[in-house]
């Protein structure tokens, strides 16, 4: 059966235009349309809509969301506006709206909105995690790809990866993706996007239905096209789509890594144990993050290729670093490279290896399980 839609749109021309879009989209029927929200509320007994589309460009309509939800309890409430605004989005979700569309929308966008938001609604309490490394070759991209797999499998909700390692991002290679659009187009277009349209810039990972990746630039010289303010807007918009947003970054402090870390709920500093200077570099980077008054809760550390990967070894590193270490990953070069070469992840191919177990432990930690060290 078709979705029964009630449309509330103050602007007469837009009302005509959107009515036409809804009526001509397969699977949707326009049950009723109103210029004024008050009129729609008064008529609630007449219709049992599945979808209420509410114009929030009219002052006061945002505040009516709870009343709409009470009047149309079996409908999904989708807000529509001429532009996306992160602060409004926060208010919409708090009030119980499930989705958002930028006007005028197409039939395809309407269909996608129902697909994306119909099940869980806009992501609530979405968490942004930035992965920072003082230097390159820290095992960061491997960690992010595997962690995303583990989180998505456990939570069953969408997880987004943003490859913001602007010049040499290789997340697309890890997942064997061939993106049509990348971070360059997403940040260029963000002013005109809504979560629904931004979603199509993220490429789905065929092996993991809940993961989507916004791939990095196709050539290093395109990096300079990614500006910071639109990048920040884009990350905030992505929060409406994904329960977790994981951001891969270029090594060191630079405009994009600083912006992403500032924006993130948690910044993970990642280093690979190797030549012996990693702890020192990590310490120096940590000194900079200490400018944040709440750095102790926002900055976490991870060491990769730790051998032996034991609690004792973690404690030794912790003592040297003089800061808690959130996770250590074992040396598993063959496993991670073989997995990445096949476009799949180690946690997926071999869930029982020490690496997979440590990543699983970290994802449980992120999801809020208070588990003891050593417990898997």
Ligand X SMILES: Nc1ncnc2c1ncn2[C@@H]1O[C@H](COP(=O)(O)OP(=O)(O)OP(=O)(O)O)[C@@H](O)[C@H]1O
Q: Does 333 bind ligand X (CB under 6 A)?
A: yes
Query: Is the backbone of residue 205 left (phi > 0), alpha (psi -120 to 50) or beta?
Result: beta
CA 316 to chain centre: 34
Of 331, 356, 360, 363, which lies in the binding site for ligand X, with binding defined by CB under 6 A?
A: 331
For the bound state, the minimum distance from the C-beta of residue 342 to Mg ion, rounded and expressed in Å, comes to 18
Q: Which residue is nearest to Mg ion (CB)?
A: 141
* 243 and 103 Cβ atoms separated by less than 8 Å: no
Q: Does 182 bind ligand X (CB under 6 A)?
A: no
- For residue 148, the number of C-alpha atoms closer than 13 Å in the C-beta half-sphere is 35
Of 332, 347, 356, 359, which lies in the binding site for ligand X, with binding defined by CB under 6 A?
A: 332
* 57 and 79 Cβ atoms separated by less than 8 Å: no
Q: Which is nearer to Mg ion, 97 or 249 (CB)?
A: 249
Q: Does 141 bind Mg ion (CB under 5 A)?
A: yes
DSSP assignment letter at 222:
G
Binding mask 84-123 for Mg ion (x = CB under 5 A): ----------------------------------------
Of 126, 133, 182, 267, which lies in the binding site for ligand X, with binding defined by CB under 6 A?
A: 133
Q: Does 138 bind ligand X (CB under 6 A)?
A: yes
Q: Does 337 bind ligand X (CB under 6 A)?
A: yes
Q: Measured between alpha carbons, how far is 183 from 186 in angstroms, rounded to an integer?
A: 5
Residues whose CB falls within 8 Å of the CB of residue 96, separated by 6 or more in sequence, listed in order: 65, 66, 69, 77
Q: Measured between alpha carbons, how far is 292 from 297 in angstroms, rounded to an integer?
A: 10
Neighbours of 206 (CB within 10 A): 12
For the bound state, the minimum distance from the C-beta of residue 145 to Mg ion, rounded and expressed in Å, comes to 9
Q: Does 356 bind ligand X (CB under 6 A)?
A: no
Site for ligand X, rule CB under 6 A: 133, 136-142, 165, 251, 304-305, 329, 331-333, 336-337, 355
State the residues that interact with Mg ion by CB under 5 A: 141
């Amino acid at each position: 059966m078709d979705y029964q839609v009630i449309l509330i749109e103050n602007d007469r021309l837009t009302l005509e235009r959107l009515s036409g879009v809804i009526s001509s989209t397969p699977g949707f029927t326009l049950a009723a349309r109103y210029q004024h929200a008050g009129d729609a509320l008064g008529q609630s007994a007449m219709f049992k809509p599945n979808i209420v589309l509410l114009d929030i460009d009219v002052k006061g309509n945002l505040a009516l969301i709870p009343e709409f939800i009470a009047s149309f309890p079996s409908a999904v409430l989708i807000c529509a506006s001429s532009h996306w605004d992160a602060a409004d989005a926060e208010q919409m979700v708090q009030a119980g709206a499930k989705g958002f569309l930028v006007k005028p929308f197409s039939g395809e966008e309407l269909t996608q909105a129902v697909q994306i938001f119909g099940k869980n609604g806009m992501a609530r309490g979405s968490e942004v995690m930035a992965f920072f490394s003082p230097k390159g070759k820290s095992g960061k991209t491997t960690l992010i790809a595997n962690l995303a797999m583990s989180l998505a499998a456990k939570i069953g909700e969408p997880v987004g990866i943003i490859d913001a390692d602007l010049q040499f991002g290789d997340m697309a290679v890890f997942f064997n993706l061939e993106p049509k659009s990348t971070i360059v187009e997403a940040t260029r277009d963000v002013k005109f996007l809504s979560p629904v349209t931004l979603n199509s810039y993220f490429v789905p990972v065929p092996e993991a239905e809940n993961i989507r990746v916004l791939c990095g630039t196709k050539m290093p010289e395109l990096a300079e096209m990614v500006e910071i303010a639109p990048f920040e807007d884009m990350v905030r918009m992505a929060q409406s789509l994904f329960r977790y947003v994981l951001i891969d970054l270029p090594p060191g402090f630079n405009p994009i890594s600083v912006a992403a870390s500032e924006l993130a709920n948690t910044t993970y500093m990642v280093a690979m144990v190797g030549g012996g200077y990693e702890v020192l570099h990590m310490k120096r980077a940590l000194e900079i993050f200490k400018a944040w008054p709440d750095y102790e809760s926002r900055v976490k550390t991870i060491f990769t290729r730790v051998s032996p990967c034991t609690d004792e070894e973690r404690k030794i590193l912790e003592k040297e670093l003089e800061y808690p270490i959130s996770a250590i990953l074992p040396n598993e070069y063959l496993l991670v490279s073989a997995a990445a070469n096949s476009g799949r992840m180690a946690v997926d191919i071999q869930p029982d290896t020490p690496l997979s177990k440590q990543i699983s432990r970290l994802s449980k930690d992120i999801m809020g399980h208070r588990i003891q060290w050593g417990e898997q």
